[in-house]
Amino acid sequence: HILVDVAGAVVRPGLHRLDAGARVGDAVEAAGGFAPRADLAAAAQSLNLARTLEDGAKVLVPELGNRLVALPAESDGRIDLNLAGQAELESLPGIGPVTAGKIIAARDERRFGSVRELRTRGLVGESVFADIKDRVSTS
C-alpha cells in the first residue's frame, strides 16, 4: 500500500491509503471526488489523473477563485519552493516554522532558480538538504 495526501477541493481531504500502482484519479476518488468548489478547468490543466502515484505523494485539487492553488501543477508530487505555502513547506522533514518562513522570505526577495539554492543561500543544512532535495522542485 501507499499513503497519499489529497488536498484542496475534494469531499474528504486528508491522508488516503491506496494500493501500490494507484493513480491520481484513484486518489481523488478515494477522497470522495471533486467537491462543488473544485475548479474543474484548472484541475484539467494541473492534474494528470492517469499519473501513477508514489508513497508520500500530494495531490492538490484547485479551488474556484483560488488561482494560486491551481498554478503548481501536480506533475511529480514534489513541493514547488516558489509556490508552496508555510504548511506545505513544514510538511518536509527537518523544516519547521522558522525555516519555512526563511524559505518564503528568501523567495519573496528572489525566486529560486534551483533546489540547490537552499544550500547556497544558507537556508538549510546539508543533512536537511539531503533529506528534502528529491521532494522539492522549482518552477
| 83-104 per-position pLDDT tens digit | 888 888 988 999 999 999 999 8
d(CA 55, CA 77): 10
**Poorest-confidence range of 3-17, 59-73, 76-90?**
59-73
More confident site: 22 or 54: 22
| 128 burial level (CB within 10 Å; 0-12, 13-18, 19+) | middle
Predicted confidence band at 71 (pLDDT cuts at 50, 70, 90)? very low
Q: Which residues contact 88 (CB under 8 A, 6 or more apart)?
A: 58, 79
Do the beta carbons of residue 88 and residue 79 sit within 8 Å? yes
Q: What's the rounded mean pLDDT across residues 10-28?
A: 94
Extract the C-alpha cell encoding 52: 501513477
Chain centroid offset of residue 51 CA:
15
Predicted confidence band at 75 (pLDDT cuts at 50, 70, 90)? low
What is the pairing mode between strands 58-61 and 79-80? unpaired
Average pLDDT over the chain reads 87
More confident site: 55 or 11: 11
Whole-prediction pTM value?
0.50
What pLDDT shows up at residue 19? 95
How many other β-carbons are positioned within 10 Å of the β-carbon of residue 3?
Answer: 12
Amino acid at 133: K
Predicted confidence band at 76 (pLDDT cuts at 50, 70, 90)? low
d(CA 108, CA 20): 38
What is the pairing mode between strands 2-8 and 14-18? antiparallel
Whether the pLDDT of residue 70 is over 70: the answer is: no
Do the beta carbons of residue 64 and residue 90 sit within 8 Å? no
